[in-house]
């Protein structure tokens, strides 16, 4: 089975520019997650989708971050404008059903974002 696909793998931008990341979950996975992982820390959830609806976006900085999953399949995460503290790895994960841990989350390779 194909895994979670993310692109790009690396991105370098200047502060105040905008950037977008793309994620294609495992086929059939209804739940999709975006995590931010700052160097030296564990991943922190930004937003969780169930199909094309948002389940949890309480930790998403909505003044600059946005995410969508229009057709309930792939998703994009956007940052506009970027700040220095947004430098991190952005991980996408998917699972079959929210909250059922016998269906664990599968992670993509992540996008490493560097802000200059």
Per CB under 8 A, residues contacting another protein are 3, 33, 40-45, 48, 55-56, 89, 91, 93, 98-99, 101, 104-110, 112
Look up residue 29 and give its DSSP letter: -
- Least Å from the CB of residue 12 to another protein: 16
d(CA 78, CA 73): 17
We find the least distance from the C-beta atom of residue 46 to another protein, in angstroms, to be 9
* Residue 18 or 59 having the CB closest to another protein: 59
Closer residue to another protein (CB): 22 or 107: 107
Q: How far apart are the first and last CA of the chain?
A: 37
What lies within 8 Å, CB to CB, of 28 at 6+ separation is 96
Q: Which is nearer to another protein, 11 or 81 (CB)?
A: 11
Q: Is 16 or 100 the residue whose CB approaches another protein more closely?
A: 100
Tell me the closest approach of the beta carbon of residue 75 to another protein, in angstroms. 16
86 φ, ψ to 5°? -85, -5
Distance of closest approach, residue 86 Cβ to another protein, in angstroms: 17
The residues pairing with 104 across neighbouring beta strands, listed in sequence order, are none
Do the beta carbons of residue 75 and residue 108 sit within 8 Å?
no
């Amino acid at each position: 089975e194909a895994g979670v696909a993310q692109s790009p793998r690396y991105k370098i931008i200047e502060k105040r520019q905008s950037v977008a990341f793309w994620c294609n979950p495992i086929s059939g996975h209804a739940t999709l997650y975006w995590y931010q992982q700052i160097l030296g820390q564990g991943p922190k959830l930004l937003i969780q989708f169930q199909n094309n609806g948002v389940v949890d976006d309480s930790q998403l900085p909505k003044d600059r971050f946005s995410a969508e999953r229009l057709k309930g399949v792939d998703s994009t995460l956007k940052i506009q404008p970027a700040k220095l503290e947004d430098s991190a790895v952005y991980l996408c994960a998917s699972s079959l059903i929210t909250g059922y841990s016998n269906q664990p989350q599968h992670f993509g390779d992540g996008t490493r974002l560097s802000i200059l």
